[in-house]
Amino acid sequence: MNIICVKFGTKYCSEFVNKLFTDLHRYDHFYCYTDDSNGLDKGITVIPDMGRPTLKVWWNKLRMFDKNFPLSGKTLFLDLDVKVSAFPEHLNVSWNKITFIDCHWKQGKLYNRLSNYDVKMNSSMITWDADNPEVHKIWDHFNTGFRDYYLRKYKGIDRFIVHEDFEYETFNHQYIQSKKYQEDINYEPIITTFEEMEVGIKDLI
């Protein structure tokens, strides 16, 4: 299984990538897609910025679904601001479809204004088969003459994927903890997310 993270811009430094790499050291294939590889551990395989189109920081995650992206096979993506508590090899997912986090803790907390295009899905952890042509359609759909329209309309890949009606599955609720919304849980999550919270390296230990 490939492990990949994405680091663009200056919000997260190389220390966050190296921390994730250390947490997942047992995996042979750890990649970082980035515009700046300075300071990254030598054990990390760098995938340099693939260039045009130039995208805002968080939109670069979509590039992983490009059929020309240099990955093959089962792939796990993790955001840099997640805490890894357990090794993810026991993820029970269907690799036939792309899989995201179901933010079940947001039930009843979503905005009701349709103009916000709010969603109950989160892309802090994603699994997919990088050889699956159905996943490639996500990038192909985005990278059209309507790209600038999507960038203005959705302001993030979660909204784009949901509201452009791509099929996806969601992880078992017990794989994830939301630090913001779930203080007390009775299970050991694989990752903890810090939605809309300021995160430092110490928070991920």
pLDDT of residue 110: 54
Q: What is the pLDDT of residues 134-179, one digit of tens each?
A: 999 999 999 988 999 999 888 789 999 999 999 999 998 888 998 8
Asked if the model's pLDDT at residue 89 lies above 80, the reply is no
Please state, for a pLDDT cut of 90, what percent of the chain lies above it. Answer: 54
Question: What's 162's domain CATH number?
Answer: 3.90.550.10
pLDDT-based confidence at 196, cuts 50/70/90?
A: confident
d(CA 120, CA 90): 24
Nearest to 175 by CA among 123, 141, 125, 131: 125
Range of the domain at 123: 2-204
Q: What is the pLDDT of residues 46-55, one digit of tens each?
A: 999 998 877 8
On the question of pLDDT at 113 being above 50, the answer is no
C-alpha–C-alpha distance, residues 69 and 71, integer Å = 6
Question: How many separate domains does the chain show?
Answer: 1
Long-range contacts, stretch 121-124, CB < 8 angstroms, 24+ apart: 121/158, 121/161, 121/162, 121/168, 121/170, 122/158, 122/193, 122/195, 123/61, 123/77, 123/79, 123/157, 123/158, 123/161, 124/78, 124/79, 124/81, 124/82, 124/191, 124/193, 124/195
The separation between CA 122 and the C-alpha centre of its own chain, rounded to angstroms, equals: 8
Better pLDDT: 195 or 34:
34
Tens of pLDDT, residue by residue over 8-48, are 998 899 999 999 999 887 777 999 999 999 999 999 999 99
